[in-house]
Amino acid sequence: MKRSLLALFLVAGLVSASFAQMQKDSWMLDGQFGLSLGKANTSFVIPDWTEYDFLSWQNTFSVKPAIGYFVQDNLAFGVSPVFGVGWNNSQQSQTNPANSNSFIYGLGIFLRKYIPAGEKLSFYGELRTEGIWTNTGQRESSGRTVYLRSKSFQGSANLGVQYLVSKNLGILLQTPVLEYAATKTADGDGTPNQVNKKSSLEMNLLSSFQIGASLFF
């Protein structure tokens, strides 16, 4: 009986040690990398009854470093800067291909709840809000010309899984479940764009992924 109790305490001690890095009053450094690839085919008719067809490829690479503080065991609150670049290649039936690029920056906050599923594996749910600024333009012989600016508020609910490769280092894979965005756009000189306001709410489970790593201390 004594040996059984001793073994039980040893196992409990090992498990608690494995997750000590996610206990209250500890910290985490987090870094996520995301790549989004998209393709769109748009057709519309302008007032002179000319029909235009656009085929575009939209790709975005983003980096989201973060620092978080565990307010409770397995519950972290943190802030996360956002940096990204995007590139768009479009083909209009009546013209030559057009290429543009985007620069993205912003700041977000997040709340993440871990659910341990063993000594090294954890699942987590995350709520995140971000303020994002984007400028889009083309590079010309005289330099880069910005023709569109936007600012948006974004919110998302995400699911993820984390695996500890060492006591203080975990690798993670995350996918959005629900995403909301409210965006205002303006021309490059600040003049309100024709589509000045836009909001969307989408379910995107398994439509995109982010990979990253977390350092606990």
Model confidence pLDDT, tens digit, residues 26-80: 999 998 887 776 665 544 444 554 555 556 677 888 888 999 999 999 999 999 9
The dotted CATH code for 2-38+63-85+99-216 is 2.40.160.20
Residue 171 has pLDDT above 80, yes or no: yes
Nearest-5° angle of CA 201, CA 204, CA 206? 170
Model confidence pLDDT, tens digit, residues 205-217: 766 788 999 999 9
Burial class (CB in 10 A: 0-12, 13-18, 19+), 156: buried
Residue 84 has pLDDT above 60, yes or no: yes
- DSSP 8-state secondary structure symbol assigned to residue 191: P
CA–CA separation, 115 and 169 (whole Å): 17
Longest CA–CA span in the chain (Å) reads 90
pTM of the model: 0.72
What sign has the CA pseudo-torsion 176, 28, 35, 147?
A: positive
Token duo for residue 200 = 């969307």
